[in-house]
Amino acid sequence: MKVVVLGVGNTLLTDEAIGVRAVEALQQRYRLPPEVNVIDGGTAGMELLESLEDLDQLVIVDCVRVGQPPATVIRRIDDEVPAFFRTKISPHQIGISDVLAALTLRERFPQRLALIGIQPKDLDTGIELTPEVAATIPEVLALVVEELARVGVKVVEKA
């Protein structure tokens, strides 16, 4: 089984970093089995292509603009995800959108895809998340763990 949890975002733009910070917290708080690869995707795009080919499960954690109150957490599954990225919701989304399109064209799209998205409060220059968005990390991690469990991957919280 091949599973990737991908955190994306620009760590210099306040809440844009939530995807990266969430996957950092995932690695700090949980013991992950060897079949789970956690990737800090930053603002990368096509550089991620090989790492995302032929996966059983891809979980993307990202800052998204969905017109909801700041710190709202959303989940989109499978076919909802590429369509969701086509609506231009994130400054780096073109990279992820392009990667998903390339995976489709190469017939190497993940069998299962989930997006855990967090509505930002602030996208100004800064290296810290706003307190509101930082407070979503436990909820985001719970959703990631739930997505992993859906494909039979069990993770254990560190003591």
Cut 0.95: pTM above it:
no
Q: DSSP of 43-109, one letter per residue?
A: T--GGGTGGGTT-SEEEEEEE---SSPTT-EEEEETTHHHHHHTT--STTHHHHHHHHHHHHHTT--
pLDDT of 94 above 90: no
DSSP 136: T
Tell me if 92 is assigned to a ligand binding site: yes
Tell me if 157 is assigned to a ligand binding site: no
Q: For tokens 């950092």, what's the residue?
A: 24
Tell me if 15 is assigned to a ligand binding site: no
In sequence order, what are the beta bridge partners of 39? Answer: 6
CB within 8 A of 32, min separation 6: which ones? Answer: 26, 38, 155
Q: For position 83, what pLDDT does the model report?
A: 61
For residues 36 and 23, is the Cβ–Cβ distance under 8 A?
no
Which tokens belong to 130? 């706003």
Instruction: Report the percentage of the chain scoring pLDDT > 90.
Output: 76
How does pLDDT run across 17-75, given as a tens digit for each residue? 999 999 999 999 999 999 999 999 988 888 899 999 999 999 999 998 888 999 999 99
How does pLDDT run across 34-48, given as a tens digit for each residue? 999 999 998 888 889
For residues 64 and 117, is the Cβ–Cβ distance under 8 A?
yes
Q: For position 53, what pLDDT does the model report?
A: 96
pLDDT of 86 above 70: no
pLDDT of 116 above 70: yes
Tell me what the mean pLDDT of segment 6-21 comes to. Answer: 94
d(CA 147, CA 23): 14
In this prediction, residue 101 has a pLDDT band, given cuts at 50, 70 and 90, of confident
Tell me what the mean pLDDT of segment 66-93 comes to. Answer: 77
d(CA 6, CA 85): 15
Cβ–Cβ contacts within 10 Å for residue 112, how many? 16
Tell me what the mean pLDDT of segment 11-21 comes to. Answer: 94
Q: For position 65, what pLDDT does the model report?
A: 85
